[in-house]
Structure 1
Amino acid sequence: MITYKSHSKIIIFCPPKKVTGGPEALHQLSDRLYKIGVENVFMHYIPKRKNAKAINYSVYKTKETDSVEDHPDTILIIPESMTFLIKKYPLSQKVIWWLSVDFYKILMEYRIRKQSFFTKLFYKQADKEYYFEDLPNVFQWAQSYRSSVYLKKHGIPDNQIDYVCDYINPSFTENKNVIKKDLNNKKVLYNPKKGKEEISQLIKNSPELNWVPIQNMNAQQIKDLMSKSLLYVDFGENPGRDKMLRESVSQDCCIISGRNGSSAYYEDLMIPDEYKFDFSESQIPEIISKIKEVLENYSEHIPQFLTYKNVVLNEENVFENKLKEIFRKDNYGK
């Protein structure tokens, strides 16, 4: 358990200028800690950059710091992409937030591989990396059920894992009015950065469908597009609970997905199995047939996504309550 004291300094490590799900979650953490009355919360961007906070995150309250004091009362929030920092601050309390489990091994191996010959003369990066050792003052947060499974497979006991999931951008939940759909709008939405090979094959085999990529848009523009559309298709890797899947269901889009990463787990993507596919060339006709079925009979299918939508809409409250539990006042020291 984190030992939080009223004078504790909380430092959230984050890559600069990135506009993706992980960095947004880290900014949401800062904002929500301030809202529940936790003070001394700071963003620490690595590598250091001017104007490191992306403009998209201006809705989240943050303060920045350039320094990190290694002290037992300091609490460091470290995304899994930066686990090389764990051993750098032996005295501090460290929380690894597993936002995207696949990045852990990929980036760790990249850091080791990119070392120059001269650097290796002084130290080996491999010795600086975190390998799930039983280290003092290291705590685990799982953003998804899949993350918790990953941690348990690497020897982390269940009682040492806290489930801390972020939430979708507030712009998606601001308007509580009933979403009215144009049933003649047959656009098939997708994220062109995810599942590129699978999506390209689906597009190639369905020229009669109107595939629309979600790109170069801010949160409000994405919301407007989703609120007018009937279907979102996703065959990405989904190393964590994907933001765009959650955004789409918040706007009453039906979903057809693969079974990669967190999408394989009902706990992370709470939609019936009939809308999830193990992608293969032989499955393409069946997937396209399902897409057409949903577009033609949207009103019959959308009730199947209500459970998932309700969970997504409640994530902000769950997130806040979890932070209150972790940083609870009866855990304050003097």
Structure 2
Amino acid sequence: MPSFICHRGPEALHQFVDAGQRLGYDMAMVYLPEDDPDPTPAVFKMYRPRVVRDIVDAPDSVVVVPETGTLQLLELRHATRALWWLSVEHFAVRNEAMRQAQKMPAGQRGPLDFVFDPRFGVVHFAQSEYARQFVARQGAEALMLTDYVRDEIVERARAARWREAEHRGLQPQEGAGVHAETDGGLAGRDPVGAD
């Protein structure tokens, strides 16, 4: 996970590691790039993640990456591969861009779609019902793994949205998109732009 990102998705990852550590599991966070001696963003230091530089690719390890780290799963030979769907849109946009860059025919599955191939043994986690349904439409099953959004993160997202709206000369709707689960048909999407 890039160490400079401070919003909902990375917070979910920090919460996950924190919860696992509290339950006694040997869990750690790997930040990318790996050259920062203190990579945990200040807003997430309260979770006190154990930080390591290298992923442990061993048969008794489970490596969980967000959908933005999909390609990292291809590097694993021994660990159980797990993909946590925090934002379907990030995956879809990146997959399509890679498909076009590789000049693959329209309609052909993209280079990241290996995650749906049972031969790769990827375990899917979904942060939202929207993501779970997306994975199901691809022919795979996803286990629900949800998080909560702290007020501080909501306020940062709201402030960023207001700055963006002011820059464009628009006024965002009060409270719109603050928490995806309360946005009706937008559940699991990123209307705030916080992922």
CA contact (8 A) 1:75 1:93 kept: yes
What's the Cα RMSD here? 3.5
Which of 136, 140, 144 is the aligned partner of 1:152?
136
User: Residue 24 of structure 1 aligns to a residue in which SS?
Assistant: helix
1:133 paired residue number: 117
Structure number with greater CO (CA < 8 Å, separation at least 6) is: 2
Q: For residues 34 and 103 of structure 1, what CA distance do their matches in structure 2 show? A: 28
Which of 30, 45, 55 is the aligned partner of 2:17?
30
Which of 92, 95, 102 is the aligned partner of 2:89?
102
**What displacement does 1:63 show?**
1.0
Compute the TM-score of the two structures, normalised by the length of structure 2.
0.73
**What displacement does 1:169 show?**
2.2
Q: Which amino acid aligns with 2:14?
A: H
**What displacement does 1:134 show?**
1.2
In structure 1, the gaps of 5 or more residues are 1-13, 116-125, 173-189, 204-210, 212-230, 237-243, 250-254, 264-334
1:167 paired residue number: 148
Higher strand share: 1
**What displacement does 1:127 show?**
5.6
**What displacement does 1:54 show?**
0.4
Alignment of 1:82 onto 2:76 = no
CA contact (8 A) 1:80 1:96 kept: yes
Structure with bigger gyration radius? 1
Alignment of 1:233 onto 2:175 = yes
Q: For residues 90 and 128 of structure 1, what CA distance do their matches in structure 2 show? A: 17
User: Residue 161 of structure 2 aligns to a residue in which SS?
Assistant: coil
Cα distance change of structure 1 residues 113 and 15 upon mapping to structure 2, 3 Å threshold = farther
Cα distance change of structure 1 residues 32 and 258 upon mapping to structure 2, 3 Å threshold = closer
2:5 paired residue number: 18
Compute the TM-score of the two structures, normalised by the length of structure 1.
0.45
Q: Which amino acid aligns with 1:233?
A: G
1:46 paired residue number: 32
Q: For residues 127 and 262 of structure 1, what CA distance do their matches in structure 2 show? A: 23
Q: For residues 202 and 170 of structure 1, what CA distance do their matches in structure 2 show? A: 24
Which of 162, 174, 179 is the aligned partner of 1:245?
179
Identity %: 22
Q: For residues 127 and 245 of structure 1, what CA distance do their matches in structure 2 show? A: 31
CA contact (8 A) 2:83 2:125 kept: yes
